[in-house]
Amino acid sequence: MTVFVTGAAGFIGYHMCEALLARGDSVIGIDNLNDYYDVALKKARLARLQQHGEFKFVLADICDGDALNRAVGKARDVRAVLHLAAQAGVRYSLINPSAYVNTNIVGQLNILEMCRRLPNLAHAVYASSSSVYGGSSVLPFTESDSVNSPVSLYAASKKADELMGHVYAHLYGIPMTGLRFFTVYGPWGRPDMAAYIFARAIFSGEPIKIFNNGDMRRDFTYVDDVVRGVLAVLDAPPSSAGGSAPHRLYNMGNNRSEPLLRYVELLEKAIGRRAEKELAPMQPGDVKETYADIKAIRRDHGFEPKTSIDEGIPRFIAWYREYHGV
């Protein structure tokens, strides 16, 4: 089938395109290649995708509805949309809030409008985030928890995406699924994420900042597990049984909350150097702990993460060494 993927040159988007192409799907990938982080990394991912004959890349911004329509063009056979483009990052939302409204809310609206005009669309899957749970102390996070108290504009924009997705599923009968990703890491990862930031600093002999004085935990989820889960979800659109809108939300995490300092220890071990740690207070918009309850996605889609951080961190560092030549 033909799959339309936004954020194709991004971290998860790149891995999803590779997986879709490997199983025989055709992919139309869109990305604006913005400079939120190193454009060279995005272009390196893209160059690998462009080696596939069934991959078509379109340079465009999801904030531009006309550009989206041109990107789809005459590809009326698009059967699935995988919307992964977003303005990511909690801390950056304090600096440039308008980027989150433009990309995550206006962009989401443009994707939804595009979806309702695709005559053969079977399913649209979009990225949400564990950030929607805010600073909740009730763990693990479950999909039935209240998500009405976000602590960052990024989280609020993702909650808005979920509400908009539900509305379009209800009004137009578009099968839609939102996935709340939990701290995804792995090869070809984002330079603004902890694994990359810490690795770069340790290799360079620079200090790393450990927020909340090290008292933090995260549900770190390896990208290969995410890829398998997204494929399973993409292939099984929700129904409107019982009169409900064909819209579902799922947590996608490792189902294990790990201490941040243990994560750092594994990075040190894989790199072979000790990190110089600078303890710092909690940052605005950040949360102390995340932990995904995955019973729903396990029940409905057989999702079962297989990769512990003990396995995943060495794989990430092996890629980092090769890519950066260190």
Catalytic center residues = 154
- What's the helix, strand, coil split of the chain in %, to 5? 45, 20, 40
Please name the residue that has the structure tokens 């919307």: 83
**How does strand 258-259 pair with strand 217-218?**
antiparallel
Q: How far apart are alpha carbons 145 and 143 in whole angstroms?
A: 6
Query: What's the CA gap between 115 and 314, in Å, rounded?
Result: 39
Q: How many Cβ atoms sit within 10 Å of the Cβ of residue 272?
A: 9
DSSP annotation string for 118-187:
-TT--EEEEEEEGGGGTT--SSSB-TTS-----SSHHHHHHHHHHHHHHHHHHHH---EEEEEE--EE-T
* Angle at the Cα of 110 from the Cα atoms of 107 and 115, rounded to 5 degrees: 125
Contact 99, 57 (CB under 8 A): no
Q: What is the DSSP string of 198-223?
A: HHHHHHHT--EEEGGGG--EE--EEH
